[in-house]
Structure 1
Amino acid sequence: MNLDHKATSRLSIGTSISLTHSKTNRVEGDQSLHGPLPNGISTPAVFSVYNSDGTYNQSGPYSNAVSIINEAINQNFSNRALANAFLEYRILDGLTFSTKWGIDFLNFREHAYESTKTVQGARYNGLGFETYSNVSNLVSNNTLKYTFDIKASAIEVLAGYSFEKKQAVSSFIRAQDFADPSLQYINSASTIVSASSGASSSGIRSYFGRVNYNLKDRYLVTLSARLDGSSKFSEKNRNGFFPAVSAAWRISQEPFFNADKISELKIRGSFGLTGNDDIPSFLYASLYGNTTYAGLPAIYPSSIPNPDLKWETTAQSDLGIDVGLFDDRLVFGVDVYYKKTKDLLLDRPLPGSTGYSSITENIGEIENKGLEFSLNTENLKDRKLRWHTNLNFSLNRNKVLKLYNGQAIDDLGRGSNRIEEGQPIGIFYSYEWFGVDPSTGDVVYADKNFDGKITSDDRTKIGNPHPSFIYGMTNSFTYGNFDLSIFLQGVQGNDVFNGTRLFLESLQGGDNQLAVINERWKKPGDITRIPRATNDPVAAAQNKRVSSRFLEDGSYLRVKNVSLSYTLNRQKWMHDKINSLRFFVTGQNLLTFTNYSGLDPEVNYRGDDNAVVGTDFFTYPQARSFVFGINASF
C-alpha cells in the first residue's frame, strides 16, 4: 500500500506498507551428502527404493533419497513487515528538508523433523529441530538541500545524516526420541539434545554531503563525502571517511559541435573511495559461547578477538564515454575502470591445533580493472510494432597485490582455492593431472619439484574460476497491447571444479559411478582417462586427488527470462476506478547451452564467498519456473 499526500504547498508526506506471509517446504540442502540429490545420485542402482514389504530400503551406502523427500520435513514460515514514511518540507524557495524512515521486521520459524523411516531419524528414534528468529532493521535518512542559480550555473548543495540499526534474536532446540511419529513437535520428544539462544546487533551512522555543479548543461561536476561509523569495529577504527569526485563534459551541447547524426556525445570521469564492513558483529571483542561439560553448564571462548579490524577501503577510478546516434535510436556507452582495495576483510583458516577454524583479518590488497560496454537500439518504431534491444558486455581482471603477512592462504573449499600474491583471488591450486599411465593404470601428476615423489609441494595453479567476460542481451517487443521480453545471459572462459565427478569417478567407497568408468584402465597398454579399479587404499587415494582432472570449462549461454504480457484497453474494458490491468506469464531458466558435464554451470557451493568460487559439489541446479500474475492499479 502506497499513500502520498501534498498537505500544503510546502509540505508533502507519504507512507508505504507491505505485509507478506510465506510458507516454504524445503528439502535437505545441497553441497553435502545429506540431501536427496546427492544421496540419490550416489546410491548404486542395484539398491531398490523399497523392500518387498513396502518399507524403504536403507541397506545402501547412503540414505534412501525417496525416504528423505517423503519422510523428512523442513518447513520455513516467515512474516515480514516493511514500512516506510517520508516528510518533505520546503523551508524557503530552493531550500528543502527531507526525512525518511523505514523499518523492516522479519519473524522466522523453521520446523524440521525426520521420522524413523529415514536413516537419520531411525538412529535417534525420530529427530526434530525448531528455530526461531526475529530480525529488525531500522533506517533513517535526513537531508537538507539547497538549490540556486548563479547566471548560467545551477548549483545544488546537500547535507545529511543517516543511521541504520539491525537487531536479531534467535533460539534453537534439537530433540529426539519421539513417542509418536504423528506428533512432530518438540514437546512430544522425551530427550532434549541441545538448546541455545542468542542475540546480535549492529549499527552504522553517517554524515554526508554533496555538491552538484551544472554550467549550461555542458559541464557537470559532483563533489561528495561521507563519514561512516560502524559498530563492527573497535572504537579506534570505527570511522571511515570516503570522498568522491566526478565530472562530465557534454560535447554535443557545445556551440561548435555540428554533427546532425550524433544526438549525444559525453565524456565523463570519476574517482572515489568506498568502504565495506560486511563482517559479523563484535569480532574485535572476546566472544563466548555456551555448552555443557560433565552435565553442567559451561562457557567457552568462541572466537579469537581482533581489535585491529578496520574498514575495507576501495579506491576506484572510472573513465567513460556516452554516444547517441540518430536521435538516440542507437545509444552506446564504454567505461574503463581501475579499483584498488586495501585492508581486504576475509577469514583466514587456522590449524586445528589452535582450537579455532578461522580468524577474520584485514588480509591484504587486491586490484580489479576492466571494461564495460552497453548498447541500446530501437530497431523498429512502428505505430503498432516496436522492437528494442539492449546489449551489455563486461570483462574484469583481478589480482592479489599484497598479503600483509606474506603467506598464501590455502585449501579454501573443496576445489582447493587459494589466495596468492600476483594471482587472481581464489585460483584453483592443486595437482596438475597428466592422464593415466598405460602401464599401471594409475593417475600421473606433474612432479613440479622433480624429486620423484608427488607431495603437497607439487601443487600449482591449475585454473581460474573468474570468467574472461560476461554478456547479456534483452530483446523487447511491443505489438498492440502485447509485450514480449527475452533475456539471454552468458559467461565465457571460467573454470569450474566438478566435485561431484570426484566422487562419481573414483571407483571407491561404494558410491554409484558415472557410465564413463566403463572406459577405465583394465590391462597394460590401455589408453584412457579413467584410472584402474583397485582395493589398495593408498593407490585409490592417490588416484582421487583434487586435480585438474576435475576442472571443466564453465562457459554457458542461458535463456534466463522470457516474459509475455497483455494490457487491457482501459477505455474499452475497465471501470473508471481502475487505471490499468495487466496479465503476464514469465518463465525463468528455460534453456542452457554449455559443455559443462554437471547439472548447472552457474554454481558456487560457498554462496557469496568471493574467495571460494566455481566449485560444484552435488549442487542443485537452478529451477526452471513459471509465474502467472496480474498487475492492477487503481
Structure 2
Amino acid sequence: MRDNLKVTTLLGSISPYYKFSDWLEYKLLVSVNYSSGISRSSINQALNIYPFYPPTGSATIKNSELITEQITNTLDFNKEIFDDLLLNAVAGYEFMKFINKGFGLIGNGARPAGFGNYGLDYTNYVQFSDVNRRSISSYIDPSSELRSFFGRTIFNYKDKYLLTATLRADGSSKFGANNKYGYFPSFAVGWNVSKEKFFKVDLINSLKIRGGWGKTGNQEFPSGSSQALYAFQDGGTIIQINNPNPDLKWQSDRQYNIGIEFSIFNNRITGTMDYFSKTTTNLLFPSPPIQPAPPASTVRWINLDGEIINKGLEVLINGTIIRNEKIH
C-alpha cells in the first residue's frame, strides 16, 4: 500500500497605504491564497483485508484546489479631539471569495506491485486496470462570497476610561436572497481604577474593571445549501442533487462578560478573572430532507429553534516567584 500527498501553497499580497495627515490614513490590502493538493495512492493486489481491501489491487488519483481572494479597504482616524480625550475610529469594507474544486480517478483490478521501477505514473496503472471497474468523479463547489462593512470607535480618556463600539454588516452568498446580511454590534467599557487619585493601595500595582456585550455570526455550512443545484447524468439528463433551503439565516452568538485585571506585590503576581454568558440561536444543523426529496439529496440544512447557553468563570494567575539579575 502506498499513499503520497503533495500540497503546494502560494500566498501573494500587497498592502499600500496613504497618509492624508498625521491623524488620517487609508490602507488597502489585496491578497490571493492558492492551495493545491495532489494525492496518489495504490493498493497491491496481494493485500487481502476483506471487505475493506479485497485482493484486486487499485490505483487512485485525486487533485484538489482551494483559492481565497481578499480585498480590504480601511480608513483610520486617530486624534486627540479634546484635552486628554483620544479618538480612534476605523471604517472599512472587505470582500472575500472562496473557490474549491477537484477530481478523483479510481481504477480497480490494477497491478501496481512494481510501481516506480519503470517511471510509470499512477495514470498508467489506472489505464491498465479493469475497464469495467474504473470510476471518475469531479466536483466544483459553488463559489461563495463574503462582503463586510464595518466600523469601530474607541474613546480613551487619560487611559482611565475606555469605551469601544463596533458594528459589522456581513453579507454571504451562501444564504438565500432574504437573509444574506447579518448585523453584529458590540460594545465594551473599561475603568482603570488604579489611575484614580483616591486609589492608594500599596500592595496593588494595577486594577482594571471591564465589561462588554457583543453579537457575532456563523456561516459554516457547505456552499449551495440554500440554492438548488443540478448535475448531468449519462445520456444528457439533468437531475437536482440537493434539497435547498432558501430561508437559511445566520447563526448568531450573543455574549456578555464582566471581568477584572490586576497585578500585585510589585507586579510579581498578575491575573484576570472573567464571568461570561453566551447564547447561540438559529443554530445551523444538517437534517434529513423532507420527503419527497431529490434522489441524490442526503441532508437539508436548517436553523433550529432552540438555544445553546454557556456560562462560566475563567481565572488566570501568573506569578514570578524568584526575580533577580540572574534568575527570573
Q: CA deviation at 1:300?
A: 3.4
Select the residue among 270, 286, 305 that pairs with 2:244: 305
Q: Deviations over 1:34-89 (max 9, x none)?
A: xxxxxxxxxxxxxxxxxxxxxxxxxxxxxxxxxxxxxx222211111122332222
Select the residue among 284, 287, 293 that pairs with 1:345: 284
Matched, 1:198 2:130: no
2:32 alignment partner in structure 1: 103
2:104 alignment partner in structure 1: 172
Aligned counterparts of 1:330 and 1:242: Cα–Cα separation in 2: 36
Matched, 1:155 2:87: yes
Structure 2: which amino acid aligns with 1:161?
Y
Select the residue among 281, 302, 312 that pairs with 1:361: 302
In the alignment, is the contact (CA less than 8 A) between 1:124 and 1:176 conserved in 2? no
Select the residue among 63, 75, 94 that pairs with 2:23: 94
1:380 alignment partner in structure 2: 322
How many residues align? The count is 312
1:137 alignment partner in structure 2: 68
Q: CA deviation at 1:181?
A: 2.9
Aligned counterparts of 1:102 and 1:261: Cα–Cα separation in 2: 49
Matched, 1:263 2:212: no
Aligned counterparts of 2:88 and 2:53: Cα–Cα separation in 1: 69
- The structure showing larger relative contact order (alpha-carbon pairs under 8 Å, at least 6 residues apart) is 2
Matches within 5 A, 1:311-350: 311-349=250-288
Q: CA deviation at 1:118?
A: 1.4
Aligned counterparts of 1:125 and 1:291: Cα–Cα separation in 2: 28
Structure 1: which amino acid aligns with 2:304?
I
Aligned counterparts of 2:112 and 2:85: Cα–Cα separation in 1: 78
In the alignment, is the contact (CA less than 8 A) between 1:116 and 1:126 conserved in 2? yes
Question: For residues 217 and 118 of structure 1, do their structure 2 counterparts lie closer, same or farther at Cα, with a shift above 3 Å needed?
Answer: same
Matched, 1:76 2:5: yes
Aligned counterparts of 1:139 and 1:99: Cα–Cα separation in 2: 11
Matches within 5 A, 1:359-508: 359-364=300-305, 365-386=307-328
1:552 alignment partner in structure 2: none
Return 329-338 or 75-84, whichever deviates more: 75-84
Structure 2: which amino acid aligns with 1:107?
S
Structure 1: which amino acid aligns with 2:300?
I
Aligned counterparts of 1:256 and 1:242: Cα–Cα separation in 2: 38
Q: Deviations over 1:411-460 (max 9, x none)?
A: xxxxxxxxxxxxxxxxxxxxxxxxxxxxxxxxxxxxxxxxxxxxxxxxxx
* Structure 2: unaligned runs, 5 residues or longer: 116-121
Structure 2: which amino acid aligns with 1:312?
Q
Question: Identity, % of aligned pairs?
Answer: 29
1:419 alignment partner in structure 2: none
Structure 1: which amino acid aligns with 2:281?
K
Give the secondary structure class of the aligned counterpart of 1:252.
helix
1:189 alignment partner in structure 2: 129
TM-score when scaled to structure 1? 0.47
Question: For residues 271 and 249 of structure 1, do their structure 2 counterparts lie closer, same or farther at Cα, with a shift above 3 Å needed?
Answer: same
In the alignment, is the contact (CA less than 8 A) between 1:351 and 1:357 conserved in 2? no
Aligned counterparts of 1:129 and 1:215: Cα–Cα separation in 2: 64
In the alignment, is the contact (CA less than 8 A) between 1:175 and 1:193 conserved in 2? yes
Give the secondary structure class of the aligned counterpart of 1:181.
helix
Aligned counterparts of 2:43 and 2:292: Cα–Cα separation in 1: 35
Q: Which has the higher strand share?
A: 2
In the alignment, is the contact (CA less than 8 A) between 1:116 and 1:122 conserved in 2? no
Q: Deviations over 1:502-540 (max 9, x none)?
A: xxxxxxxxxxxxxxxxxxxxxxxxxxxxxxxxxxxxxxx
Answer with 1 or 2: which has the greater Rg. 1
Calculate the aligned-residue CA RMSD, in Å. 2.1
TM-score when scaled to structure 2? 0.89
Matched, 1:213 2:142: no
1:113 alignment partner in structure 2: 42
Aligned counterparts of 1:301 and 1:129: Cα–Cα separation in 2: 28
Q: CA deviation at 1:124?
A: 6.4
Q: CA deviation at 1:351?
A: 8.6
2:14 alignment partner in structure 1: 85
1:250 alignment partner in structure 2: 192
In the alignment, is the contact (CA less than 8 A) between 1:267 and 1:321 conserved in 2? yes
Question: For residues 257 and 75 of structure 1, do their structure 2 counterparts lie closer, same or farther at Cα, with a shift above 3 Å needed?
Answer: same
Matches within 5 A, 1:231-242: 231-242=173-184
Aligned counterparts of 1:98 and 1:351: Cα–Cα separation in 2: 48
Aligned counterparts of 2:299 and 2:66: Cα–Cα separation in 1: 26
Q: CA deviation at 1:350?
A: 5.1
Select the residue among 196, 217, 224 that pairs with 1:275: 217
